A and B are shown apart, each in its own frame.
Chain A
Amino acid sequence: MIRSSSSLPPVEVSQSSSEAIQPPLEVFQVISAAPLDMVELLRRAHHPAAGAVVLFSGEVRDHNKGRAVDHLEYEAYQPLAVKMIHAILAEATAKWSLQSAIAQHRVGRLAIGESAVVVITAAAHRREAYEANRHIIDRIKHEVPIWKCEYFHDGSHQWGNNCNC
């Protein structure tokens, strides 16, 4: 996960009077083998200049195209995936003047109901927060080298092609 502003490497969005309540700059993981901690991610997204915070969680469904899904596995080409997610967050931060932009994607085995990806956007108003959030998740799904393999109840498995969720 990162908190990103309009330039790379990610830096804290500048503040004035509110600086004291902001967490210090950290370099967050954008790819995680551990379960995603949505509460902690959301806590980090709050910003005094943001009147709207949107959180999207992509979660593991128990079915796909009529087939019962047992679990999923995700893999990533991490050197490139990390770089691309940072760039997507930075671009969205600049375009929609976001106060916070956070994304974290799981890798490894995921059970039904687990969160595979979280995107959080915080902006002054909801329109920007919603639009930026959708833009970020769409680009992560379509562009970033992360792949899903579905394991079905019948014992078969199938790698995902383009996004179908």
Chain B
Amino acid sequence: MTNDQIRQAILQIISVIAPDEDLTHVKSDVPLRDQLELDSMDFLDIVMELRKRYGVEVPEADYGQLASLDSCAAYLAPKLKDK
């Protein structure tokens, strides 16, 4: 997946987890938490959906890497390069 595809995939996941959030204006360089109402349970779900959909494991110590769409893309790119 390209970095852009990863950003799209994360947005797609968030739309399933939090269908009540408006995702049309999410900025990719700003922490998701600053733009959306997401709590720790929701972040766990992003990790769980990544595992369910792409077989990617994100250890708890790395949850911080998923702060913004850009940091997600940078962190996940090596893990998703063949997907």
Q: Do A and B bind each other?
A: no
Chain A interface (Cβ < 8 Å from any Cβ of B): none
Chain B interface (Cβ < 8 Å from any Cβ of A): none
